[in-house]
Amino acid sequence: TYTTDTKSREENTKTLESLYKLSVDIKKIRRLKEWVLFQEVAYVTETAAILQEMGAEEAAVASILERCPEAILHPPAEINSQRALWQLVCQNEKQLIKLIEQFPEAFFTTKYHENQKANILFFQELGLKNNIITRFLTSAPNIFYNPVEKNKNVIETLQRNYLSLGGSDANMRIWILKLLSQNPFILLNTSTAIQENLEFLQSNDFTDHEVLQLLAKLKGFIFQLNPTTMQKSMLFSKKVFQCSDQELKQLVLKCPALLYYSVPVLEERLEGLLKEGISVEQIRETPMVLELTTQIVQYRIKKLSALGYDIKSGTLESLNGTKKDFEVNFGKMQSKKERPIFNPVAPLHIED
């Protein structure tokens, strides 16, 4: 444990000298985590040596220590244990040091070492590929801090519900792996919360097949919601689109964003679309447009207008999709507009 109380303390001179030798910007550390410099024990040269041994260049070592200065407070044995742990899922040390350079804080969180190890082995047994596990380690490190039993419990709840909703044994493993790959944060939820959300959907007349359909479309986001917020969002959409319960259900299946975005978010996006001259009827026809932020919508409308496309009178389909989808469609529209109209059977007018 490290104290963050810096009153009437002096910076550790030995630590400062070692950091200077490594060309570390001390000002950055003072600004970000000054308390590190007040610790009596630090392992600056040892930490740097381990990083260099893994292949980190001098500039990379300095960058790592500037962004994650608490790295120097870990004894070498701890860092080497973490190194061995991450090597379970890294192809080689070159990949490992690259990950540490990008995500030093995730690597230097050694507090939950045993949990991390147990969870890595559990994910491997589950069938997750090592490249997916490394992505989890860097983008969702919190899921490794849970005791492995908790993560197992959540997975078992998902498997049980998948089968009870009519999913097949043959597809269950693929479904679970896909769900985890899309959104590992579902493991931060409790089994009870997952159960409640699924029961909420069933109580709103979504069939088992439709619930499974929603789970696939929501990429696991449903597990981060709760019945109260989902209910409010659905009531808001019903009022805006003036539709029946059955029609609302179809809209939600078409655009799960109506379920997982809060009322303030939906209100803001709807308002943004209406300001652009788009009608509620158009939005109802293509509700997926609500998945886009107001800024993205404005940018896309501007680009389409430059091609002479009037969004108010046409469909909103051209606004939809990821950035890549939009750019591809826009490119097609642009080349179509620029292509000269040529009729091969029209007579040629040649002057004498």
Phi, psi angles (nearest 5°) of residue 197 = -65, -40
Residue 5's SS3 state is: coil
Look at residue 276 and tell me whether its pLDDT is greater than 50: yes
User: Do 99 and 86 meet the contact criterion of CB atoms below 8 Å apart?
Assistant: yes
Look at residue 348 and tell me whether its pLDDT is greater than 60: no
Can you give the pLDDT at residue 326? 84
pLDDT band (50, 70, 90) for residue 8: very low
Distance of alpha carbon 11 from alpha carbon 34, whole angstroms:
9
pLDDT band (50, 70, 90) for residue 335: confident
pTM (two decimals): 0.74
Instruction: Please tell me the chain's helix, strand, coil percentages from 3-state DSSP, rounded to the nearest 5.
Output: 70, 0, 30
**Count of residues in the chain:** 352
Q: Give, as one character, the DSSP assignment of residue 109.
A: -
Q: Taking the mean position of all CA atoms in its chain, how far away is CA 210?
A: 24
Can you give the pLDDT at residue 344? 52
User: Do 85 and 93 meet the contact criterion of CB atoms below 8 Å apart?
Assistant: no
Can you give the pLDDT at residue 350? 47
Phi, psi angles (nearest 5°) of residue 52 = -65, -35
Instruction: Return the CATH fold of 226-336.
Output: Transcription termination factor 3, mitochondrial (1.25.70)
Q: Say if 111-220 and 226-336 have the same CATH topology.
A: yes
Look at residue 140 and tell me whether its pLDDT is greater than 50: yes
Q: Using one digit for the tens of pLDDT, what is the confidence trace for 294-324? A: 899 888 888 888 888 888 777 788 888 888 8
Look at residue 190 and tell me whether its pLDDT is greater than 50: yes
Q: Using one digit for the tens of pLDDT, what is the confidence trace for 46-66? A: 999 999 999 999 999 999 999
Token pair, residue 24, equals: 């570390």
Look at residue 251 and tell me whether its pLDDT is greater than 80: yes
Average pLDDT, stretch 10-16? 92
Can you give the pLDDT at residue 149? 95
Smallest Cα–Cα separation from 128: which of 174, 70, 189, 160? 174
Can you give the pLDDT at residue 85? 94
Token pair, residue 141, equals: 């490190």
Can you give the residue ranges of every domain in the chain?
9-110, 111-220, 226-336
What CATH number has the domain spanning 111-220? 1.25.70.10
Q: Using one digit for the tens of pLDDT, what is the confidence trace for 72-87? A: 999 999 999 999 999 9
User: Do 274 and 305 meet the contact criterion of CB atoms below 8 Å apart?
Assistant: no
Instruction: Render 120-148 in DSSP notation, one character per residue.
Output: HHHHHHHT--HHHHHHHHHH-GGGGTS-H
Instruction: Render 47-66 in DSSP notation, one character per residue.
Output: HHHHHHHTT--HHHHHHHHH
Burial class of residue 284 (count of CB atoms within 10 Å of its CB; 0-12, 13-18, 19+): middle
Distance of alpha carbon 324 from alpha carbon 345, whole angstroms:
38
**Residue 103, Cβ neighbours under 10 Å: how many?**
17
CA distances from 133 to 62, 122, 125 (A): 27, 11, 12
pLDDT band (50, 70, 90) for residue 4: low
Distance of alpha carbon 246 from alpha carbon 210, whole angstroms:
13
**128-139: string of b/e by CB count within 10 Å (b at 16+)?**
beeebbbbbbee
Look at residue 7 and tell me whether its pLDDT is greater than 50: no
Q: Give, as one character, the DSSP assignment of residue 347.
A: P
pLDDT band (50, 70, 90) for residue 233: very high
The average confidence (pLDDT) of the chain is 87
Can you give the pLDDT at residue 1? 46
Q: Which residue has the higher pLDDT, 343 or 71?
A: 71
Which helix (H) or strand (E) segment is 265 a member of?
helix 263-275
